[in-house]
Amino acid sequence: MFGKKTSKYTYGMQISDTTAKLVEIMTLPQEIVVTQRHSIALDKGSIKHGKFMDEESVIGRIEAMVKQIGLQGANVNVTVPLSNVILRRSVFSSLKDKALRNLIDVELHGGQQLPFKNPVFDFVRIGAPKEQAAAAAAEGVKKAAKPSAQEEVLIFATPAEVVESYAHVVKKAGLTPVSVDLAPLALHRLLVRHSRLTGTTMKERFMLLHVEPDHADVSIFVNGIPVFFRSIQINTSFFLDTGTDQMAAYGRNLSMELGRVMNYFQYSVSTEQEDVQLIYLVGDQEWIEALPEHLEGSFSGEIAAFPLPAILQNEDSACHTFAVPVGLAMKGA
């Protein structure tokens, strides 16, 4: 049952401060089939805020899981924590990929101020800067435009040691890391799939709110492009007074922080000072069912569970907690 798999199977692994989740999927034209899914608790304190405190403990726990299910050597796509990622938008001269990468590398290591040294990065071309695109439209250009002199680029940067440490842990645990990705991008990959399958259009401005027991990751997309990332640490003990349960304490803390994020996005990020239209909640079923009522004070728009069930063939109530590793596995499909 758990023998050597063929190339039609792909794998995704998400490692958080508290758990490691691994999925195996088979991608079909109209649906995704989750053929295996596994979650294992990590020793408390072995990872703190995305940094390994006890690497050997994490390796041992994941290695035991990998051996038990017989997936030694499987190629896997893995996340790095959002708390270590910096998002930048910059304008560069239009160049081929290699030359553009070299130019970004020079900027990140010299001209661009980052809160860490020795960054590794990836980038996505967004298109002509708004001013240039508007000018072309005003001129009524109908023929295919020549390559722009400049273009806007979205850059994702993270410390090299973070990427190396996660790849090292996964490799020592018996798997073969083939790519490192970000949870919001993995989730967006699923939303694109959902849009194609259902014929629906994604909202122009939406938020992915990924909730974990000790933190929440916020990512905001505008026209399919991520424009804001933030990892919010949740200290529920501060709110645990008499008669307040953990979920209510978590919700109150998150609602306060979310209000600040919404305000910052609307007045500092959004070019038209527009608000987010929709929040997708990602996490355990219990959390995504209970949290909306606690977030009404900071957001009056639509709050919905991430639409993973519409994408999976064999979904159940536990599928929500595996949304990120499923999106990661799709990168290799």
In this predicted model, what pLDDT tens digit does every residue of 222-245 receive, in sequence order?
A: 999 999 999 998 876 655 555 667
**Rounded Cα gap, residues 169 and 13, in angstroms:** 12
Range picked from 10-14, 31-35, 110-114 for highest mean pLDDT: 10-14
Q: What is the mean pLDDT of the chain?
A: 87
Per-residue confidence (pLDDT) for residue 140, from 0 to 100: 55
d(CA 333, CA 316): 22
pLDDT at 118 over 90: no
Q: Is the pLDDT of residue 45 over 90?
A: yes
Output the pTM of the full model.
Answer: 0.88
Pairing of strands 278-282, 205-212: parallel
pLDDT at res. 317: 73
* CATH topology assigned to domain 9-82+161-182: Nucleotidyltransferase; domain 5 (3.30.420)
Number of H helices, E strands in the chain: 9, 15
Domain boundaries, the chain: 9-82+161-182, 85-159, 185-328
pLDDT computed for residue 139 by the predictor = 55
**What whole-number distance in Å separates Cα of residue 59 and Cα of residue 53?**
12
Q: Which amino acid is at 65?
A: M
Q: Over the stretch 183-219, which tens digit does the pLDDT of each residue have?
A: 999 999 999 999 998 899 999 999 999 998 888 999 9
Provide the percentage of residues in the chain whose pLDDT is more than 70: 88
Residue by residue, DSSP assigns 49-60 as: TTEESSHHHHHH
Quote the pLDDT of residue 7.
59
Shared fold status for 85-159 and 185-328: no
What's the CATH class of domain 85-159? alpha beta
Query: In 3D, which of 206, 211, 199 has the Cα closest to residue 262?
Result: 206
160-172 and 55-69 helices cross at what angle (nearest 10)? 40
Q: Return the structure tokens found at 311.
A: 């994408």
Q: Does domain 185-328 have CATH number 3.30.420.40?
A: yes
pLDDT digits 0-9 by tens, 151-163: 999 999 999 999 9
Residue 1 has a pLDDT of 35
DSSP 21-64: EEEEEEE-SS-EEEEEEEEEEPPTTSEETTEESSHHHHHHHHHH
User: DSSP letter string over 155-169?
Assistant: EEEEEHHHHHHHHHH
Q: So what's the pLDDT on residue 333?
A: 59
pLDDT in tens, 3-28: 444 458 999 999 999 999 999 999 88
Distance CA 330, CA 186 (A): 8
